[in-house]
Structure formats: C-alpha cells, structure tokens
A and B are shown apart, each in its own frame.
Chain A
Amino acid sequence: MSVTYSEGRKVHRVRKKPIVVVMLLLLVWFAGIALNEPGRVLELASQVCLSCIGLG
C-alpha cells in the first residue's frame, strides 16, 4: 500500500527508498552497539590522538 499526498491536482507518493536505506543503516548501527563499539569509540575519542593530528 502506498501513502500519497495531494497538492492541488498533483498527487505525490511518499518515497520508500530513503526509509528503507535509513532502516538498514539503523540495523548496522544496532549491530555496532551489540558488538560494544560505542565503548571503544568513547575510549578513542577521550584521548588526544597524537598520530591523528600529525604529532605522533
């Protein structure tokens, strides 16, 4: 079933592709959380990465 929106004579259909893409990437995001990646990201971001700024 498609959701539509009418503006005057024109009928616009809600695009599903972006919603599917966002949903898929949300799954990837949840997979990252399940692997405890946020903890590692926090650990990395809490230190000055000297090699990242050209000083190491």
Chain B
Amino acid sequence: MGYVRKWVQIIFGFLMNGYWGFPFSRAIYQGPLKVICAPGLNCYSCPASTTYCIIGSLQNLLANVRLSWEAGQYYLGLYVVGSAGVLGGMFGRMICGWACPFGFVQELLHKIPSPKYRVPRPLRYGKYFFLVVFVVLLPLFAIDEFGAGVTWFCKYVCPAGTLEAGLPMLVLQPTLQERLGFIFLNKLVIMLVVVVWSVLASRPFCRVVCPLGAFYALFSRFRLVRLRHDQGNCISCGACHPVCPMGVKFDESPDDGDCITCMKCMTKGCRFDAIYLEVGGIPVRAGRTQSRPVAARRLKAEG
C-alpha cells in the first residue's frame, strides 16, 4: 500500500506542477487549468503550477472583498470554499496523505537518517489558529486606508510558497532580487525550520501549521472515505500507534482530525483486522483478514 501511495503522491505532484516550459518562458503557467484547485498545498505562483492554491485564493478574495464589493462584484470565496469543501466532504485529510506535494516533501525529508522526535500533541491546535486568524480574520479585517487586506499566511508564513515559488522565481527573474527584504528573510527562516523539523519529526507542518489540513480536518466525522475501527476485533495492543505518521492513536480516536488515511495502521500495524476502509458506510476490507483467535495464538507464540 505504501508503494501505491508513493506513486499516487508523485502523480498528483506532477499533475499540480505540470508546466515544464517555465525555464524557457521564465514565467508561470497562465492557462485555463488554473481555474481548477490544487487539492493539496501547492503555491499557484510556483512556475510549474497548473492549478490554483485554495489557501492563497481564499485569502486574496477575502483581502479584497471590500474593493470588489464597491465595484459591484461579490467575490466572497464561495467557489474556493465550495471546491475545497466538496473535496473535504469526500476525502477529508486523505488528500494530505495521498495528494499533497508539500506533505510528500516532508515524508521524503523524514527519511533522512537522524534522531527522531515526537511532535507535542497540544501543538496540533496551532493549525486551526492559522486557519481562522491568518487565512480568514486578518485578511478580512486588517485593512489599509483603501480597504485592501493582505494575504497574511502566504506573505508571512507559508514555507511551501517560499520553496515552490519564492526561490524559483528569484532564479528565473533576477530583477526580483531587488525586492529581497526582511519579509522574505523571515519566510526563508520559517522554511528552513520546517525543513529541519521535517527531518527530525514526521510531517510537523501538516500537524501544527497547515490551514488546509485544518480545513479538511473539519470533515473528519462527515467524510465519505475514512478508516473505521472494529472494536470486536481490537485487543488494544497499540500496534497502530507507532506506525502512524501523524501521531494518531487510532484505536482510541478513530475520527481523529489528524488521520490522513495513509492506511499504515491498517496494513502495517493491526494484525487483527480491526481497522478497515469504509466508503460511504460500506466497508472495503483490505487489511489482513486474520481472525482474532488465530492472530491471538500467533501473537502468544511470538511472545
């Protein structure tokens, strides 16, 4: 399953970043595909990007909502929220595990040999703070004298934007180097912290900062595709705990907002068929189908 997931991540990475003419044009893709949202966190100012970023677009629309309103255009972000919401309602944070390029980058970084550390659980609430404050409230209410706001998360935080767009654009368009300043330095430091942290801990950005992950997490109880816990088969051995890249204790909180449905708990952790995939209420049993007594005898024999 891990092999399949890796290939799905690669394919989605290429689908969202499929414009490879940028070294010649020295500009970003400007075609009609950019009306489609990138399901994962993928900066739309990335030269190869073929889709729009949900978080970037939402902030831009909210930041300029007063100006568009005065011009008689009611851009409230409904198209963006609707697109992200439909994806969230169907897959929730499964998108983080299967289709997010920045999540994939973090997984690759975590493969670098080093001491590994846990992410303190209270920090997981940070992503909701970034979603509410940096993506919605500040762009909407922190406005200048003309009524225009700023894309706070993109401008001051987003390491994906620095990695995928800021640095490549500085190379492609050297004149932009004149604009380098404290804000970019601040973003560069944040990006480096996230890179180092990703080596030391599993998916720290997804767990602590990502506002898109926080949005998808809102659908953890209402999404069509999700993992379920079969209490009848579970012996609470805790085998699903250490394999989870998001630090979820699946047998204790099967609807956890951090579950990215990578299925490691189902395929690598559980030996009792206590975790299974469910699509709209219908179970899709893909785990090892070992009956509880057989598995218990085997575990006992193994000591």
Contacts and interface: CB of A to CB of B under 8 A. Distances in A.
Interface of A: 5, 7, 12-15, 17-19, 21-22, 24-33, 35-38, 40-42, 44-56
B135 interface: no
A56 to B, nearest CB: 7
Complex A-B, nearest 10 residue pairs according to Cβ-Cβ distance, in ascending order? A32-B79, A29-B82, A25-B85, A32-B78, A37-B79, A15-B281, A52-B154, A28-B82, A22-B89, A45-B52
Given A26-B86, A29-B83, A35-B76, A42 B32 contact: yes
A37 B83 CA distance: 12
A25 B83 CA distance: 8
A13 B170 CA distance: 54
Contacts of B83: 29
- How would you classify the secondary structure of chain B's contact residues: helix, strand, loop or mixed? helix
Nearest to B176: A55
A6 to B, nearest CB: 10
A40 B183 CA distance: 27
A14 B82 contact: no
A30 B83 CA distance: 9
A25 to B, nearest CB: 3
A54 B89 contact: no
A41 B52 contact: yes
B78 A51 contact: no
A24 B86 CA distance: 9
Given A25-B85, A40-B73, A49-B56, A54 B162 contact: yes
